[in-house]
Amino acid sequence: FEFRRAITRKPGASIIDGLRAEDIGRPDLDQMLRDHAAYVAALRSTGAEVVELPALEAFPDAVFVEDTALCLPQGAVLMRPGAPSRQGEVAEMAPALAAFYGENLREITAPGCIEGGDILVTGREVLVGLSARTNPEGVAQLAEIVGDWGHALRRVDTPEGVLHFKTDCGLLDGETILATGRLAASGCFDGYKVLLVPEGEDAVANCIRFNSSVIMAAGFGRTAEMLDRAGFEVVEINNSECAKLDGGMSCLSLRF
Ligand code: CIR
Q: Is 65 in the pocket of ligand 1 (CB under 6 A)?
A: no
Mean pLDDT of 155-170: 96
Q: Is 118 in the pocket of ligand 1 (CB under 6 A)?
A: no
- By most ligand atoms within 8 Å of CB, the mutation choice from 20, 61, 183 for ligand 1 is 61
**Confidence band for 209, pLDDT divided at 50, 70 and 90:** very high
**What does the alpha-carbon distance between residue 252 and residue 63 come to, in Å, rounded to a whole number?**
6
Nearest alpha carbon, ligand 1 atom 1: 19
**Confidence band for 42, pLDDT divided at 50, 70 and 90:** very high
Q: Is 48 in the pocket of ligand 1 (CB under 6 A)?
A: no
pLDDT of residue 58: 98
pLDDT of residue 61: 98
> Phi, psi at residue 202, to the nearest 5°?
-55, -30
- H or E element at residue 168: none
pLDDT of residue 134: 98
Average of per-residue pLDDT values in the chain? 97
Mean pLDDT of 60-79: 98
**Confidence band for 76, pLDDT divided at 50, 70 and 90:** very high
Q: Which long-range CB contacts under 8 A does 186-192 form with residues at least 24 apart?
A: 186/156, 186/157, 186/159, 188/127, 188/129, 188/156, 188/157, 192/122
Are 248 and 217 in contact by the 8 Å Cβ rule? The answer is yes
Are 223 and 197 in contact by the 8 Å Cβ rule? The answer is yes
% the chain with pLDDT above 70? 100
Q: How far is CA 68 from the centre of its chain?
A: 10
What's the ipTM? 0.97
pLDDT of residue 212: 97
**Confidence band for 205, pLDDT divided at 50, 70 and 90:** very high
